[in-house]
Amino acid sequence: RIGVAVDGSSNSKAALLWAVKHCYRPGDVILLFHCQPLQFNPGAGYGAEKTFQALEDKAKTKGLSVLKRFAKRLEQKKVSCIQILARGDPASELALLTERNKCHLLVLGSHGTSYDEPKGSGGQWQQFSSWFRRRAEKTAPSKHAVGSVCFAAASSMPVPLVIVDKVN
């Protein structure tokens, strides 16, 4: 099982093509994950319930459309896939989905953010690295500093994480 995070961008397209070319073997299943952050705080007590439901329905429709578009690409290549839509913090949701679905690998696009760019530059890599650091700090002995994302990912994720840079 190979997990691939997709969001409709050219970076996630590159990640999917990379996964099919370099990791996929006949009989494997690719799990397409699309994670959407929550658009609002449901407990804040503002706005009508119908408004919140309309926003949720619109986001769900958009997410399912993204998944369907990427699944169609796989179908054309005769690659079997499972589509999963999740809501919440994308970094933590992707990590949990990867673990829950027993993936052997998670592949995602870099969104132009390299692993060696300064902290705070944004992008999915930064979200993942901060999430892994938080999770590793809870599990790592306090006398050992979590000095690298690799250590944090290795101690937090049961699978390798591959970040694919789009080649122009």
pLDDT of residue 150: 36
CB neighbourhood size of 106 (10 A): 26
Express each pLDDT in 73-90 by its tens digit. Answer: 999 999 999 999 998 877
C-alpha triplet 114, 66, 123: angle, nearest 5°: 20
pLDDT of residue 99: 86
Residue 30 pLDDT > 50, yes or no?
Answer: yes
Please write down the long-range contacts of 132-137, taking CB distance under 8 Å and 24 or more positions apart. Answer: 132/95, 132/156, 132/157, 135/95
CA atoms of 168 and 66, how far apart (whole Å): 22
d(CA 16, CA 108) in angstroms, rounded, equals: 8
> What pLDDT is recorded for position 66?
92
Q: In the predicted model, what is the mean pLDDT of the chain?
A: 73
Q: pLDDT tens for residues 86-108? A: 988 777 788 888 889 998 888 88
pTM value? Answer: 0.69
Which CATH number applies to 2-164? 3.40.50.620
